[in-house]
Amino acid sequence: MAAGLRILLVSRRFWPQVGDSEDAMADLADGLRRHGAQPTVLSARWATDWPRISHFQGVPVHRIPLRLDRPWGRWTYLLGLARWLRRHRSQFDVVLVARLRREATAALWTLRRSATPIVLRAEADDCAWQSASGVGLRCHHRCQQASAIVYRNRAVQNDLIQAGYRPSSLYAIPDGIRAPFPRRGDVRRTARLALAKIHADFYCPAEAPIALFVGRLRPKLGLARLVQAWEHVIRHRPTAKLWLVGDGPYRDDLYRWISDLDLRHCVRMPGTFECLDELFNAADLLVYPESTTGLPRICLAAAANGLPVLARSSPELQIELQRQPALQSQIMLLDRSDVVGWSEALLDRLKPSLRSDSLSEGSRILQREHSMARMIRRHLDLFHSLLKKPDR
């Protein structure tokens, strides 16, 4: 069904950068290729030593220079993006743009006279960004012209409708997650040994409790609070480790904060990883210390892989857990946001009695309901339906 379909994926941030949107676009690129399509990625070139053209899982990745440290750097990037789209517009059947932001505006304006369907993929904070940004109103008007807007959960749908987007243009495609490797033997011990061989930061005693964070390192994610809570955790569990996996603008400040608290021996920052299976198998708990307007993709992936999750509560997350009972056995929501509340919750969830090397029934249900193949097929079905419209 997807054979020969030429799909351009536009995303300012792409692997090796991480986050909900970045991870989804990476999975889409790989999944679409595996289903017989011909995807290409167009992204930003964030550093001068990054190649202009590379490959990710066999998918071509083209990068437009972006220098935010220079005046007009963002606009130069957007002009470069528009020029690339104009030059290569005949080479694609469908364009999928991550987020309802400047890249979406650039694509819709540049290809406004083209018959190529342009699909936008909305994230939880896009509507809030449009309300706050100086260019948000213009972006909002332009995004109304998209062929379709994909959303991944009810919270994002509600935001889009409240912002004035037509319900008829919105398409629900829940997140898909990669199927984990089959579990055999002592999964936790095997994973920890494997990780210790590839990075010294992962070395730890065999029975040490490990909490894992995966995502973009940003100031507003509550990571400083999490690190401060870890100072209380190691007073009771001296061998406990906190792994902060990812990168971002807060990395250097966070590292200094860890050093000031003298926690470098137990709080590790090993960088980014493409495959998370070994991390999920090695850890005892995934932590997500900031409230969100929907279920973070990494929390869904961890829960489906059998890793318990401790996340900051929000009304939208509570509704999401009520809608998906399979999540309730894997995810604990924390109402408190203070350091003491987090330290107590971490100590409670890191008890040895809660460890298990076998998948729960809830995890198996999540794997079936959020399969990667289903997410890819839903996107392909949408693309084909748009290409068949008579008014293209």
Q: Which of 284, 354, 295 is nearest to 326 (CA)?
A: 295
Predicted local confidence at residue 356, as pLDDT: 66
d(CA 356, CA 351): 11
Question: For 166, how many CA atoms within 13 A lie in the half-sphere containing its CB?
Answer: 9
d(CA 268, CA 243): 5
DSSP 306: T
Predicted local confidence at residue 357, as pLDDT: 61
Contact 150, 119 (CB under 8 A): yes
Q: How many CB atoms lie within 10 A of CB 114?
A: 15
Pairing of strands 118-121, 38-45: unpaired
d(CA 165, CA 141): 9
CATH number, domain 6-176+371-387, options 3.30.465.10, 3.40.50.2000, 3.40.50.150, 3.10.20.310: 3.40.50.2000
Please state, rounded to an integer, the average pLDDT across all residues of the chain.
Answer: 90
Predicted local confidence at residue 327, as pLDDT: 85
Mean pLDDT by 10 residues, the chain (392 residues): 86 89 94 96 95 96 91 92 97 98 97 96 93 93 98 91 96 87 72 90 89 89 91 95 92 93 94 86 92 81 90 86 85 88 94 68 84 95 93 64
The DSSP secondary structure of 69-102, one letter per residue, reads TSTTHHHHHHHHHHHHHHHHGGG-SEEEEESSSH
Predicted local confidence at residue 169, as pLDDT: 97
Domain ranges of the chain: 6-176+371-387, 187-369
Predicted local confidence at residue 295, as pLDDT: 82
Q: What is the pTM of this model?
A: 0.86
Our CA angle for 383, 176, 185, nearest 5°, is 150
Give Cα separations from 87 to 13, 91, 109, 257 (angstroms): 22, 9, 14, 47
d(CA 311, CA 335): 9
Residues 6 or more apart whose CB falls under 8 angstroms from that of 236 comprise 347
Q: What is the largest CA-CA distance in the chain?
A: 67
Same fold, 6-176+371-387 and 187-369: yes
Predicted local confidence at residue 58, as pLDDT: 95
DSSP 114: S
d(CA 378, CA 151): 12
Q: Structure tokens of 179? A: 């199927």
Predicted local confidence at residue 161, as pLDDT: 97
Domain 187-369 has CATH 3.40.640.10: no
Predicted local confidence at residue 182, as pLDDT: 59
Task: List, for residues 26-56, the tens digit of each pLDDT value.
Answer: 999 999 999 999 999 999 999 999 999 999 9
Q: Phi then psi for 40, rounded to 5 degrees?
A: -135, 140
